[in-house]
């Protein structure tokens, strides 16, 4: 009888919980840690890639650069990547610790077009000279 009383008390509480908490309470955290692309040993989430593209695109639209750097600037695709969107292309640094605001750009870049559409991600890591190789998902 006591079990029935406890269950009747808990049932309204569980019905009020969001479904995602009942199915997998860690799912939002897991999704936040999933790599949308990996450049060398750097894993970037979808949110990080979107933030870098949005920041770079804002500078392009305003005609400025980040912190007195040369970024964003036009990317000529000398390596011949097969991007899913048409150019012209721009490159902008993507950093593991937040959005690029100037200074050393590090090896990793997002590439986007004049319509602010993501084209891909590239890195100097593993490339010879000043060229790039594709991060995961960019070929």
Q: Looking at residue 124, which CATH number applies to its domain? A: 3.10.450.30
Q: How many domains does the chain divide into?
A: 1
Told to judge if 79 belongs to the known catalytic residues of this protein, a careful annotator would answer no
Among candidates 56, 39, 48, which has minimal Cα distance to 135? Answer: 39
Whole domain around residue 126: which residue ranges?
Answer: 37-134
100-121 pLDDT, tens digit each? 999 999 999 999 999 999 999 9
Please write the tens of the pLDDT for every residue from 81-103.
999 999 999 999 999 999 999 99
- Do 90 and 74 contact (CB within 8 A), yes or no? yes
Identify the active-site residue in 29, 31, 79, 124.
124
- Residue 125 contacts residue 90 (beta carbons within 8 Å): no
Note the pLDDT tens digit of each residue in 67-84.
999 999 999 999 999 999
Q: Is residue 41 part of a domain?
A: yes
Catalytic residue, candidates 29, 31, 79, 91: 91
């Amino acid at each position: 009888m006591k079990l029935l009383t406890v269950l009747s008390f808990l049932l309204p509480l569980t019905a009020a919980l969001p479904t995602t908490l009942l199915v997998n309470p860690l799912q939002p955290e897991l999704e936040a840690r999933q790599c949308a692309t990996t450049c060398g040993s750097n894993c970037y989430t979808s949110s990080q890639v979107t933030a870098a593209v949005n920041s770079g695109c804002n500078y392009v639209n305003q005609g400025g650069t980040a912190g007195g750097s040369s970024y964003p600037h036009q990317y000529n695709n000398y390596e011949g990547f097969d991007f899913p969107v048409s150019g012209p292309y721009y490159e902008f640094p993507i950093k593991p610790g937040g959005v690029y605001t100037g200074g050393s750009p590090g090896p990793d870049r997002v590439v986007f077009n004049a319509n602010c559409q993501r084209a891909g991600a590239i890195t100097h890591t593993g490339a010879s000279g000043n060229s790039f190789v594709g991060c995961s998902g960019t070929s």
